[in-house]
Amino acid sequence: MSRNEFTTFAVAGVGGLGQYIAAELVAQGATVFALTRGGGNTKIPAGVTERVVDYADSQSVQDALGGVDVLVSALSGSGLRVQPALADAAKKAGVKLFVPSEYGVRTPEITWGFMLAKPKLQQRLKEIGLPYTLFFNGSFSDLGPRFGLDLPNKKATLVGSGTAPVSWTTRPDIGHFIAYILTHLPPSTLDGGIFGVEGSRHTLLEMLALVETTKLSGGKLDITHRDESEVKRAVEEKDIRALDLATIGDYLSILTDEGLCCVGEYDATHLVPDFKPLNLAQAIEKYW
């Protein structure tokens, strides 16, 4: 597949996933800028130029986006709050395509909780006429044990049944996939497009079985199941402005048990030629 017309990219948030996206865009031959708040970000990849911005100053952001074809947001946590202003600045700066921070779960299907901000942003992008592309990848399988997994004590705590399918993908593979799609697919296909990538697909119970095989030499985990309805009720009672990490983890676990941490019908892994992302067993062996 030949290259498309997009050659200049800006990545907002180059700490976690963003650093892999930026590095892979450079590998595709693109000109890449990292939008940062300054302060000496050490995760900016080689070949990426830093542009310091003040997200509270719309003109500062607009100036930083001058000449940029595609803006990729990899912001997370409190950084998500600046995305609406980032989108407005991108529109004014003439950016041709915006990639909002999505990734883990299928956000268009979210009906409750703090992540409702993501589908609301998608609606805003439609209203201001800024073309956008969504990417989903499920769980970041290179980040090691999560979902209540306590390897040292051979215990695991799941919210719900643990039988919903989950997509498992490493961040280096996600970065490669996103960079290829953004530099090769026609703009008309990217506009409004939703693309999923996964290394492999397994339920949480299947993940735990793989852990037992690869990390415990066939030993067994003590698995506890928490009632999803009780956990959801507790999450909903929390002040959305003051969520702690445990509550955020419970919220994401509920969305996982609802099946939203699977790319499902959006799987487009096959669009990248000669691409063999690590499956979950390989990721566990390498990273956990």
Q: Counting every residue, how long is the chain?
A: 288
Ranges 35-39, 56-60, 106-110, 189-193: which has the least confidence: 35-39
Residue 2 has pLDDT above 90, yes or no: no
Q: Residue 218: its pLDDT value, please?
A: 78
Residue type, position 62, single letter:
Q
**What is the arithmetic mean of pLDDT over 69-97?**
95
Give the count of beta carbons closer than 10 Å to the beta carbon of residue 190.
21
CATH topology classification for 140-166+200-262+275-287: UDP-galactose 4-epimerase; domain 1 (3.90.25)
pLDDT digits (tens, 9 = 90+) for 23-70: 999 999 999 999 998 877 778 999 999 999 999 999 999 999 999 999
Report residue 78's pLDDT band, with 50, 70 and 90 as the boundaries.
confident
Q: Which sign, positive or negative, has the C-alpha torsion 114, 234, 152, 137?
A: negative
pLDDT digits (tens, 9 = 90+) for 241-263: 777 889 999 999 999 999 999 99
Residue 50 phi, psi dihedral angles, 5° rounding = -85, 135
In the chain, what are the domain boundaries? Answer: 8-137+169-198+263-271, 140-166+200-262+275-287
Query: If one looks up domain 8-137+169-198+263-271 in CATH, what number appears?
Result: 3.40.50.720
Q: Residue 259: its pLDDT value, please?
A: 97
pLDDT digits (tens, 9 = 90+) for 197-214: 999 999 999 999 999 999
Residue 146 has pLDDT above 90, yes or no: no
